[in-house]
Structure 1
C-alpha cells in the first residue's frame, strides 16, 4: 500500500488535523543509508513530522528540519515540501541500543536530551522564516509538540512512530498532528485528550493496517472529522549531476586542476540519497573552459 497523507478539519472547523503513513518512505531512507534500528526510528519519526509540516505549506514552498542533539547519531537534516516529497539523512546511521525500560527503541538515547530543533521555511520571499527551540525530550514527537507551542504558538499534539523488522527493514511508520484553532472549546479539548490517552501507539495502529483517515477517527471520533483531501507521500531527492557540476565549478579553476592532477577525476555523493556522480578529466576540463569563457 502506497504512502499518503490526509488533511482534515474536526469539531466544526475548530481543530486542524494531519495524518500520514510513511512506511515505504522511511523504508527507502533506511535502505539508502543502511540505518540501524534506533537510528531508523529517529530519522523516520523526524521525516514523518517534516512531511506533515510540508503539507501545511503552499505551492513551491519548502522547509528544512534540523535535529541537532548531543546523542551519538549526530545531527539529522530533513527537507520537505508542499507536494508530499521528503528526503533526509542522519550523520551516524549505524547506531543502535537495547530497548528502553518500556520496551521501545531508545530514540532519546540516540538523539540526546540537549540541543536544538530548528525549522527553516523557504516561502519564496527574500528572507527565510526560522524557528528554533531546545530539545526537550529527544523522543522527537514531544520536541515537535514543544516547537509548535513555543515557536508558532499553536497548541498541538504530535504523534510519531516507527517499527523496525529484525532484518532492519521498516515494518510500519507514520504519525499525526492535531492542532487547536482559536476558539476551541474545553469540551472538545477534553474529548481529544481522552482519546489520545487511551489510544495505542501510532506505529502499532499502522502495523494493524489503519489508514491515515482511521488514525484521525481514533483520535477525534469519526463523526467529528471532515476529510479535506489526501496527497501521495514519497522519498524524493532533487540532486543531479548538473547540480553537483555547478558546485564543482564554484570551487574555482585551481581546485578543479588539483582534482585532475591528483585524482584523475572527481566523485560527488549526495548526503540525502547517497547517489554518486563521477566526473571524468574531460568533464572537469570543460568546467575550466566554462570558468574562463
Structure 2
C-alpha cells in the first residue's frame, strides 16, 4: 500500500510515533496544478504533516494547516479528515517569480505564521497560531506542539515531487509505563539518522526496523490515505451568499450567470440567475442540482 499512515509505540515507555507515506494522493494534488518543483516539494511535506497531525490529535473532524507567508509563496494549505482524505493547495503572490533553483522553506514563505484549525463534527472550532520562527516546516510545527499541546514532539518530513513521507515521535505525559527513562532521547537520536531516500523509498516497517531494530516496537494496523475534496455545490453556494445580494446581482447583470471553480480539485459549478435568486431568498435551502 503506497498511501498509508502507521502508528507505533515503544513498549515500557511513554513514547509513541507515526510514519506516513504518500504517492497516489500526492500525485493527485500535483496533477491538478502546475506548481514549480520547490512548491511541489513543500506541498508534499505539508500533506505528510497534516496526515500525521490528524492521526496524532485524534480529531473527529477536519484538520487544516495554513502557512501564511509574506514571501513569493503567500499560502500553503493542506487539509485532512478522519476518513483519510487529503487535499492541498499553494498560492504564489502576485507579480512574484519563484527562483529557478532549489529554495528553502523560509526563503519561499518569508515572515508569517502557521494557522492550524481543528473543526470537529461536534463541539467548537479551535485555531492555534504559531509564528514562522524556524527554518523548516517541521521546526515550525514542533513549536506548535510545544506551545499548544505542551507535548515534546519531533517531526521529519520529506518530498521529492513523486513521493512524500513523514515520521513523528511524541513523548506522552503519562510516565506510569515509562520504565526506560532514556527512551525519548534515544528514539529521537536514532530518528535523526534517517535519510530522505529511506523515508521516501522504503516500506514503513523496513524504515522502523532500520531505526529501531534494537528496541521493542509495537506496530499497529496501517490506515489507508487518499486524495479527496470536500467541495460541493451547496458549499460553493454558501460561499457565494457571503458576497452579498448587490454584488451577486451585479455579476449576473454583467455575465448572465455565475461560474465558480474549486481551487483544490478544479470542479466547476454553474449557477443561473434563478439559482442565485433562490439562494438569496432562502440561503439555508439546498442548492438546486444541475443534471
TM-score per shorter chain, which class?
A: 0.7 to 0.9
Q: What's the secondary structure of 2:236's corresponding residue?
A: helix
Show the 5 A alignment for 1:1-293.
Answer: 1-58=1-58, 60-92=60-92, 95-99=98-102, 106-112=104-110, 114-163=111-160, 170-182=161-173, 183=175, 184=178, 185-201=180-196, 204-208=197-201, 210-221=202-213, 223-287=215-279, 290=282
Give the paired residue count: 277
When the two chains are superposed, the root-mean-square deviation of aligned CA atoms in Å is 2.6
User: Where do 5+ consecutive residues of structure 2 fail to align?
Assistant: 286-291
CA contact (8 A) 2:13 2:183 kept: no
CA contact (8 A) 2:15 2:184 kept: no
Q: What's the secondary structure of 2:130's corresponding residue?
A: strand
Partner of 2:288: none
Superposed displacement of residue 196, structure 1: 2.3
TM-score of the pair, normalised by structure 2:
0.84
Note the alpha carbon deviations across 1:239-286, whole angstroms, 9 max, x for none. Answer: 012321233345454333323221011111222223221223443454
Note the alpha carbon deviations across 1:59-108, whole angstroms, 9 max, x for none. Answer: 73222212122321112222212222121211119835413xxxxx5333
Structure 1 residues 41 and 16, CA gap change in structure 2 (3 angstroms): same
User: Where do 5+ consecutive residues of structure 1 fail to align?
Assistant: 100-104, 164-169
- Distance in 1 (alpha carbons) for counterparts of 2:98 and 2:13: 43
Note the alpha carbon deviations across 1:6-31, whole angstroms, 9 max, x for none. Answer: 11111335211111111222222111
TM-score of the pair, normalised by structure 1:
0.83
CA contact (8 A) 1:270 1:276 kept: yes
- Distance in 2 (alpha carbons) for counterparts of 1:285 and 1:70: 38
- Distance in 1 (alpha carbons) for counterparts of 2:13 and 2:185: 16
